[in-house]
Structure 1
């Protein structure tokens, strides 16, 4: 009887210990997740890994397709600049190889399994291997620039307040790097590190403008260059620049709102024929009869496809403004 009761107590102890350990594991997992979420930008995450500051800077540059000095790695500067400004991290060659392999696999599937012609398979390969990555990079770059443009006025205001409090410029930029989220936080962190390792403020901001591709940074670079050569009140310059950038963004958003109807019309006009073609093909496969065997089918498709693309381009130019 004593043995059974002792065994029962032992089971109770094990159950209690299991509950305690499970609760502790859950808490540690939750706390670790919250700590990772609390790291607001990529640079702080790398610094949190206890890597030296110089090694962290080199890693941030290399994962963006740049050398340790901040220059482009490849001779194809325009492509390297597009990859860097997109914000995608990793080896650029690995990024390109993924799309080439995907295009090759899709072309082989179309040619061998589905019986498509060699021309169709070749065009599919070219589109996936070369056109699609460019579209992905351009879209990622545009989204990143828009996010950066929304953050920059607040960052300039933070620098202005720090300068008025008596801090030097490098400390003010370091404050932005600690307090702002990506993409601006990491980019200004790179600027802060580059200044610490010997670059001037004008050179670091010029490299920042090349990495991001935002026109507002060009204004900032020019303003700092003029201020360094001729003097002037830096806080007043940055404060006015923040106001200008905010007004430009407000105007851009207003134009986008006013042109929303035109953009939606372009999408509907462009996609409606394709949608109807797909619906008719599904519900009535014999609707088009023997038209597929006609020799003029492909030329007609090509002509009207190019005509539709021309219309899309005209509507795109009508609803996009440069100012």
Structure 2
């Protein structure tokens, strides 16, 4: 028979073991969730769901508006290319339909609430349904390219170190796809998968350049093509390319710093009339009197708006440089 003191010690041991096991179970669950959330790029998240690599590759291409072979789905190549390079995922038809419906709703509300003629509502529909999505895609593409430009030199350095360690080029590219964050990680992971499923590195790099639209990737594609045809030390080529891209990035940042005053002036000059108009409309609604009833008001405002946009375009060209 077990005495009462021994029984109490035994209960304490079981209680302590239970607490330790419960804490460990909670920790393992938490760490597993953090690992899933902290997966560094979209492709690795897809692979973490235990989907086959070929199926993951096809789904990544389809959601970017590409076929399974990496070609554009739609015949309007320029729009399809813009959508692909923006990095937005999903069906392109769904994306365009959302903006068209939004433009239709805004135009109807403008017509019903203000009583304007059909022409301003039509202009509003055209802007929201067709111009706004293009501006949105261009902005998304430019932001993505800038982020890609910051990541690419580090990725090239990683490839160079892997090649010097004796790994083949396909393994080095796959390493970048596993270790780098988006957008570069997923794009290089797609390249690694395409090489695995039969494409040459040169073809995969060319498709990568088309998907991203960054000039540095065109240099990478050309470097790989020349090296495969004429030979040469690939590690030295990529190391020099990484150095060139870093110097270009430094020059771009320097130009951006020097042109900051011009960009700020453009914003102030562009927004000042709109802000003053809004202040007058709130403080003194009758300031403009019966001007709004004049039939010339809409053509005059249209001309002034186009003139202001032309000035903004000129200032934009003055502070943006291609090199």
Give me the TM-score of the superposition, normalised by structure 2.
0.90
Q: How far 1:44 moved relative to its partner?
A: 0.5
TM-superposed deviation, 1:114? 3.5
* Residue 116 (structure 1) shift: 2.8
Instruction: Give the distance between the partners of 1:157 and 1:311, measured in 2 at CA.
Output: 43
Query: 2:226 aligns to what?
Result: 226
1:105-184 matches, cutoff 5 A = 105-184=105-184
Distance, in Å, in 2 between the alignment partners of 1:101 and 1:88 is: 19
Query: Which residue in 1 is equivalent to 2:256?
Result: 256
**Aligned residue for 1:64?**
64
Aligned residue number for residue 196 of structure 1: 196
Residues 1:87 and 2:84 are matched in the alignment: no
Counterpart residue number, 1:3: none
- 1:292 is displaced (CA, Å) by 1.7
Is the counterpart of residue 308 in structure 1 residue 294 in structure 2? no
Query: How far is 1:46 from its partner?
Result: 0.6
* Cα distance between partner residues in 1 of 2:120 and 2:68: 43
The aligned residue for residue 13 of structure 2 is: none
- The CA deviation at 1:38 is 2.2
Structure 1 residues 264-289: Cα deviation after superposition (integer angstroms, max 9, x where no partner): 00000000010000000001001111
Partners in 2 of 1:298 and 1:55 — Cα distance? 54
Q: Which residue of 2 aligns with 1:243?
A: 243
Distance 1:278 1:248, change over 3 A: same
Deviation of residue 24 (structure 1)?
9.0
Could you tell me which residue of structure 1 aligns to residue 10 of structure 2?
A: none
- Cα distance in 1 for residues equivalent to 2:136 and 2:251: 27
| Counterparts in 2 of 1:25 and 1:108: CA distance versus 1, 3 Å | farther
Deviation at 1:313, TM superposition (A): 1.2
Task: Kindly provide the CA deviation profile for residues 229-288 of structure 1, in whole angstroms up to 9, marking residues without a partner as x.
Answer: 111000000000000000001000100010000000000000001000000000100111
| TM-score relative to the length of structure 1 | 0.90
Between the two proteins, the alignment pairs up a number of residues equal to 305
Shift of 1:73: 0.4
Deviation for aligned residue 1:299: 2.9
CA shift for structure 1 position 129 = 0.7
